[in-house]
Amino acid sequence: MRRFLFPTLAGLVLLGLWWLPFAIGHVPPGTLPQPTEVARAAVDEATSGRLLDSAIASLFRVAWGFTLAVVVAVPTGLVVGRAIGLRAAVLPWVNFFRSMSPVAWIPFAIVWFGVGDPPAIFLLFYATFFQIVLATVAAVAQVPRVYYRVAEDLGLSRRRTVLHVTFPAILPQLVTALRVAIGVAWMVDVVAEMIAVRSGLGYLIIDARNGLRMDRAVVGMIAIGVIGLSLDALFARLARVPSVRWGFER
């Protein structure tokens, strides 16, 4: 009951707070749509197929940018994490670029890649790459040294040690880092679509604002929240995989 009833009750409270300004006084036109207006706009956007097309476009960019970041960042973090000298040299710069907002790179992304999917994918890659590298390096540094001594005693090669010792040991921390990173990627994608792309949920919101259709803008916002919640739930379920769950039960 706590898992489903309490969120439902909280949602009803939020809906009541949304209704409250309309119940107690006049709301200036074009500033806040009524829930009924948003519901009608949601039906229109869904039946026309625009909402689905926008969601697919956004998820396509997130999938590419996030996947590329994971494929490059995890091996980089494994290498940097095992080499103490390399770690000391690289980590300050990883933190430097991680602290720099991806939004600051939007002008360069547009100049380099034009308008469309490539600049958005680049921004998503940038937003998550350094974060995943840092998390991987930190996880590798926490692996007990006794694991590596046992691997040496068993005669494991460096490659087999990484695959069968280091990588399984860091999986719990890595899954947590990926869960945070996918949320960051989703937010950055919406920002990128508002500026450098002409499709997706971010563009849907900007287009609705330009047309003074705030009800459609709220529909896009709700869709962003629902999809973001679904992505987080998907990565949360990865923590229940046996090869990962041990790190949370310890």
| Structure-token pair, residue 16 | 């009541």
pLDDT above 60: residue 250: no
pLDDT level of residue 5 (50, 70, 90 thresholds) = confident
Per CATH, which fold does 34-249 belong to?
MetI-like fold (1.10.3720)
User: Closest Cα to residue 83, out of 25, 44, 13, 141?
Assistant: 141
* Backbone CA torsion sign across 210, 214, 216, 218: positive
CA distance linking residue 39 with residue 20, whole number of Å: 17
- The residue that leads in pLDDT, 126 or 199, is 126
Helices (H), 1-157: 5-24, 35-48, 50-82, 84-99, 106-113, 117-141, 145-153
Residue range 98-122: mean pLDDT, rounded: 88
Q: Residues 170-222: pLDDT tens digits?
A: 888 888 899 999 999 999 999 888 887 888 899 999 988 888 788 899 999 99
Distance CA 180, CA 108 (A): 26
* Average pLDDT for 236-247: 74
Q: How many CB atoms lie within 10 A of CB 131?
A: 21
**Are 65 and 124 a contacting pair, CB within 8 Å?**
yes
Least confident of 73-77, 106-110, 166-170, 201-205: 166-170
Please say whether the beta carbons of 179 and 129 come within 8 A: no
What global pTM score does this model have? 0.85
Q: How far apart are CA 80 and CA 88, in angstroms?
A: 9
Tokens found for residue 140: 């590798």
At residue 224, the pLDDT reads 94
